[in-house]
Amino acid sequence: MRKRSWLTSAISLLILVVLSCSPQGNNLSIQVWFSPGGGCTDAIIGELNKAKKEILVQAYSFTSQAIAKALVDAHKRGVRTEIILDKSQRTEKYSAADFTSHMGVSTYIDGAHAIAHNKIMIIDNETVITGSFNFTKAAEERNAENLLIIRSKQLAKDYLDNWEKHKAHSEKYAGR
């Protein structure tokens, strides 16, 4: 992770204080990254590599080969891995959805919304990865994005409940 500025540290501390005062804040940990070039992709891959039981993903744009490979690697080591993507991933010139689905990762398309604009991962029912950061090479290298990694079982449960609602109306993606 790159050095944090005093403002980044202050924002992280403020978020931590506010959330730790809430019922959801028990055993809370927050890390923040910014792009371009801030290590967001490496931070995500680090969390995926630590997953023991389950990784659930909702993504609008998913073209990062490195993140796709980390998800497939988790799947191969026995971690339940499922992905829900926006319907635009059916027709994008390149989508990591083709790679993940062909490698056996359960991949779904959420076509029930104008845009399924989520950018989240839920890992082992205790870690939530979220922010504006799309799971793309452009998000890491060219865009101004932010990424939060939050460890909170209650927050993970809230995200899981929402993830399950979206999976219920999503269609299985078999790839092209």
Catalytic (active site) residue 119 = yes
Assess contact for 84 and 9: CB atoms under 8 A. Answer: no
Q: 131 CB contacts (<8 Å, ≥6 apart)?
A: 119, 145, 146, 147, 148
Question: CA 56 to CA 71: how far, in whole Å?
Answer: 10
Catalytic residue among 75, 98, 110, 119: 119
Catalytic (active site) residue 98 = no
For residue 73, how many C-alpha atoms fall within 13 Å in the half-sphere facing its CB? 13
Q: Look up residue 46 and give its two tokens.
A: 């680090």
Question: CA 11 to CA 43: how far, in whole Å?
Answer: 19
Largest Cα–Cα separation, the chain: 48
Catalytic residue among 124, 161, 167, 169: 124
Catalytic residue among 52, 113, 117, 169: 117
Computed from CA positions of residues 71, 76, 81, 86, in that sequence, does the dihedral angle turn out positive or negative?
A: positive
Catalytic (active site) residue 42 = no
Residues annotated catalytic, as ranges: 117, 119, 124
